[in-house]
């Protein structure tokens, strides 16, 4: 399984490995991109039934041309041979491009430049990114099965890359975050990698000026390629350990996300599990996952965002009702459900692959 340490793919991969280990699956985790922090390495070392290899190869969105990625197929091929791998689960579709291995390939799209650009910028991507779109398209073609965490993102992939209808399997993300709820404080929380324009941190910061409670924003303000989000009104908390974020969510009565592009949104799920009322951007994915359990706001309108938050600040009855609705909805997005569904995907990929041809059900 490939992984990176930059965003939600780390949380997804680590949690999935941890759950698969309980079902007897051994995972070789192959990291790419910037190396993990000390806290991330500590979390990785605590996994059982998993080994780690970190390659000095960037992620596709970190480079301006494909040259730095050229050695990846050879490296993955060597690892498949050396570790006697049965199946590859690649968490960036472009990592399957030009890959020549006689093993089933499952790719999960958590994001990509083309769908990101369409949602965040609109219109056609810059010509200098054409190679990236082509790489991703080749990776999708190489896959035995394609997975997305929501129907909204699956539809975006099919639209952008011309995939046939129902070509993408939808496996919602899950989380094993602790559900401990503390005495709620008078605060509003947002969490994300704020250097990414898709997270729309500037809109939350602008709204914070008019919110009656202090707004705290947890997460990195500066990205790996000198991106930066400057805050003027919200209180920056910086990058925090997952357990710290979970404790903070346990004290949070209102959680806000103004994302312009979100294939799933693990932070929202963790906040819902901690019984926080959700104020979310009105985008297809959030509507799909949280309809009836959140307030939805135009993410381009900071004033409307502030008004929605203040509405919940002033109306405790509605705030508590929404928080409880979010908690109930969160109970369907579990790591157990995610891992069982992924085992079915692995089983399907292996059963249909000519080099394996195992009887259906053997993976599970």
| CA quadruple 265, 269, 274, 280: dihedral sign | positive
pLDDT at 279: 98
Query: What are the pLDDT digits (tens) for 129-139?
Result: 999 999 999 99
Query: What are the pLDDT digits (tens) for 216-247?
Result: 999 989 987 778 999 999 999 998 887 888 88
Mean pLDDT of 315-332: 97
Can you list the domains of the chain with their CATH numbers? 2-174+334-352 (3.40.50.2000), 188-330 (3.40.50.2000)
Rounded to 5 degrees, φ, ψ at 240 are -125, 155
Residue 294 near residue 278 (C-beta atoms within 8 A): yes
Beta strand extents in the chain (DSSP E only): 2-3, 27-31, 50-54, 88-90, 105-108, 145-148, 168-170, 188-191, 215-218, 235-238, 254-257, 277-281, 295-297
* pLDDT above 60 (res 360): no
Q: What are the distances in angstroms from CA 344 to CA 29, 106, 181, 213, 340?
A: 20, 12, 33, 45, 6
Mean pLDDT of 156-174: 94
Q: Please tell me the pTM assigned to this model.
A: 0.89
Rounded mean pLDDT of the chain? Answer: 92
What residues contact residue 157 under an 8 Å CB cut-off, 6+ apart? Answer: 109, 112, 115, 140, 146, 148, 163, 168
| % of the chain with per-residue pLDDT over 70 | 96
CA distance 230 to 91: 30
What residues contact residue 337 under an 8 Å CB cut-off, 6+ apart? Answer: 172, 174
Q: How confident is the model at residue 356 (pLDDT cuts 50, 70, 90)?
A: low
Q: How confident is the model at residue 364 (pLDDT cuts 50, 70, 90)?
A: very low
* pLDDT above 90 (res 20): yes
* pLDDT above 60 (res 357): no
* pLDDT above 70 (res 277): yes
Query: What are the pLDDT digits (tens) for 167-209?
Result: 999 999 998 765 667 889 999 999 999 999 999 999 999 999 9
* pLDDT above 60 (res 307): yes
């Amino acid at each position: 399984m490939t992984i990176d340490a930059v965003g939600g793919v780390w949380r997804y991969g680590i949690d999935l490995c941890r759950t698969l280990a309980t079902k007897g699956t051994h995972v070789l985790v192959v990291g790419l991109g910037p190396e993990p922090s000390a806290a991330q390495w500590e979390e990785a070392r605590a996994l059982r039934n998993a080994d780690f290899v970190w390659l000095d190869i960037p992620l596709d969105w970190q480079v301006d041309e494909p040259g730095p990625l050229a050695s990846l197929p050879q490296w993955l091929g060597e690892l498949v041979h050396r570790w006697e791998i049965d199946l590859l689960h690649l968490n960036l579709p472009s990592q399957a491009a030009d890959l020549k291995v006689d093993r089933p390939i499952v790719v999960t799209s958590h994001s990509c430049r083309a769908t990101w650009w369409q949602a965040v910028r609109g219109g056609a991507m810059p010509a200098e990114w054409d190679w990236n779109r082509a790489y991703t398209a080749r990776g999708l073609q190489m896959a035995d099965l394609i997975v997305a965490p929501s129907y909204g993102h699956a539809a975006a992939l099919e639209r952008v890359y011309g995939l046939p209808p129902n070509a993408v399997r939808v496996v919602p993300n899950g989380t094993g975050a602790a559900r401990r709820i503390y005495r709620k404080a008078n605060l509003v929380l947002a969490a994300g990698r704020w250097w990414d324009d898709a997270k729309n941190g500037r809109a939350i910061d602008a709204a914070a000026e008019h919110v009656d409670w202090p707004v705290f924003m947890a997460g990195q303000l500066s990205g790996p390629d000198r991106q930066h989000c400057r805050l003027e009104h919200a209180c920056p908390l910086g990058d925090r350990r997952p357990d710290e974020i979970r404790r903070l969510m346990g004290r949070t009565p209102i959680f806000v996300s103004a994302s312009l592009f979100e294939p799933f949104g693990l932070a929202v799920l963790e906040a819902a599990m901690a019984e926080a009322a959700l104020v979310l951007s009105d985008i297809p994915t959030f509507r799909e996952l949280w309809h009836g359990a959140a307030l939805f706001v135009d993410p381009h309108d900071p004033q409307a965002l502030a008004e929605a938050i203040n509405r919940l600040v002033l109306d405790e009855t509605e705030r508590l009702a929404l928080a409880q609705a979010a908690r109930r909805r969160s109970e369907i997005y579990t790591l157990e459900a995610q891992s069982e569904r992924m085992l079915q995907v692995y089983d399907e990929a292996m059963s249909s692959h000519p080099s394996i041809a195992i009887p259906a059900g053997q993976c599970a």
